[in-house]
Each structure stands twice: as structure tokens, then as C-alpha cells.
Amino acid sequence: MKHQLQISLPILLLTSAVVATADVPRALTAIEQQTSWRRNGTVGASDAKTLSRRRLSDAAVFLEYGFSKHVRVGLAGPQASALTLDTYEMVDSVAAYGIFTYLRPSTAEPVEGIGNIGCATKDGIAFQQDRYYIVLTAPGIPGSSRYPLLQLATVVSKTLPKSSSLPLVAEKLPKNNLVPLSEKFLMGPEALSRLLPVITKDPFGLSTGAEAALAKYESSGETATLLLIYYPTQQLARKFLNAGYEEYSTRYPDKPIFYKRDGPMAIVVLESSSPELATLLLETVSYVSMVSWDPKVEPPSVAQVMLNIFMFCGVMLAITFVAGLGLGILRVVINRIFPGRVFDKPKNMEVIRLKLDSKG
């Protein structure tokens, strides 16, 4: 009996972790109902405390973006084929988008129609949808035989929530001359330090709540790397742009760096082989503050404003009249009940006279 409890306890823990994410069981059920793939019994689950056991190299980056849960399920298909379905649940769609771009290899191929954004690698397919980062891995499958993976990815995508949003700094990246699939959205110093090695841990101050986007550009054989950082305030942008410039210049004295600050946004061009391309990128990016307006709320007309003013004056006059009338009634009543005791005391009464009738 004790031995059975020791075996069943880990299974219960893994089962509870899978059930905690309702979308994962729904996706697995859809796979078994709509395809010939079946679960082969391989199940693993991780949370923020245990993720480092499964992803030792980049667990810190996952936690920096905002990691919630990870579920791994093995699937067996026809002709003894097998693959692995990894479901990473992040705190929101922005975090999921960020970890997708960070882990996307430069050799990936874009995949349309799956998730909010997807790509195919030599070992499988990955996509981001809502707060999920999904990876289907099947080592050894050639690119011409990806149809089963695409079919499974489509089934999983249909079971997940659809909402998604891009961070502002990622939307600010110029589209002209952008190297395809090179953009990466960064939410902390850990991710930036791995893509842009420097001496200190956080020279550009991403730990202050700033967000960054990194992308490569190429034009007429010239290349450049653009780094956009959006800070909570203009003061932080000014401070850490100067600190980051000093740090990068010290670390790479032979590499040119171009930069400017526009409000709370810092625009930095690194590793540029062309000052013209760097200048073009700096001029393309600009920060414009956005003011939201609800079209359903129409501004009042001049007649309505004047009517409101007269109504306000009328209300104030009514309040003043009622207050004066009440004070007068109160004084008459008190004089009748306590004559000469509260108001109009003979001994204490003083009358100020102008003596206009006196002649001298």
C-alpha cells in the first residue's frame, strides 16, 4: 500500500498541474478527436520554481518575461512516429510574443495561418497565440514532411484563446530594410545581455520597467542593428541612454554607435557599416504621444454651455435665498422664545452711525 502511494503521488501532482491549465486538456482532446495522434503516456509539468530543471539555460529569461506554467506531452502517431508538444503559458500575450521572438532562430521560416505568429525550424513548428507559446518538436522530420506538424499546430491553435496585442516598442520598428525574422522583443536585462554582451548586467536600465526591441537591417549590402528602448519616464531615458552609450563604447571601442532620444524612447544604432543607414534609421523612428478620444462622447454645444451656466447660477441663488430665509426665521423664533438673550442684546448692542444728518 505504501509503495502504491509513492507511485501515485507524482502522477497526481502532474495531473493537477495539467488540469490547472484548462486549455491544454482541451487541445489534447481535440488532437485525439480530429487526428490519428494519441498521447503516449509521457507527461511533464513545470512551474516557476521547477522550470530550471527542464530549461536550465534559459529559465531566467522565461521568468523575466513572466512565466506561469509549462506542460510537456508526448504524442505517438502513425508508423511509429513520435513528437513532443510543449505548452508554455505566460502571464499575458505580450510576454508570450516576447519569448517567441527571443527563442526564434535566425534560420526559421515564417508560417502563416497558425496562431498570431508562427515559424518552422529544422526540428518542428513553434507559434504564439494569446498568452501561450507552443512548440511541436519532431527531430529528423524533413521540411517536405511537415504536414502532420502543421495539421497538429492548426488543431491546437483553434482550441486556444484568440486575443493578442503587440508592445508599443515592437510596433515602432521600421519595416523598410528589415531583415526577416530578426526582430526580438525584450522585457529585461537578462535577455538583452545575452543578445548584446556588455560588461555590467544592465547598462541600459531595462530593470526599471523599460521594454526594448532589437532588429537587424540591411540595405545595398550595408547592415545595422537597431535597438529601441521605451522607458517609463523621459528622465530615465536620458540617464540610461548616456550610461548605456558609455558602457558599450568601453566594451566595443572599435564599433561605431549612433543614438538619439525622443521623449521616453531611446533609439540606438549598433554595428552599422554605413553612417547613412544609421542616420536613416534614427530619422525613421519617432515618439508621438497618443491621446485617446471616445467618439461617443460629443462636446457640448455653446447653447448647452450657456444653459448650464444659467442653471448653475439659478441653483446658487436658490440656495442663498433658502439659507437667508432660514436664518431670518430662526432669528425671529429665538427672539420670541428668548427675547434679548441671544440676538439684539441691549447691553452689548453697538450701532455704527455715519451721522449724515449732523452739520458739524
Boundaries of every domain in the chain:
2-159, 168-284
pLDDT of residue 102: 95
- pTM, to two decimals: 0.72
Q: Is 232 helix (H, G, I), strand (E, B) or coil?
A: coil
Contact yes or no for 36/77 (Cβ under 8 A): yes
Supply the pLDDT for residue 116. 92
DSSP structure string for 111-150: E-SSSSEEEE-SSEEEEEETTEEEEEE-TT--GGG-HHHH
pLDDT digits (tens, 9 = 90+) for 104-150: 998 899 998 899 999 998 888 999 999 999 999 987 665 556 788 88
Query: Which residue in 130, 119, 121, 123 sits closest to 157, CA to CA?
Result: 130
C-alpha cell at 258: 549612433
Residues 57-94: pLDDT tens digits?
Answer: 889 999 999 999 999 999 888 776 788 999 999 999 99
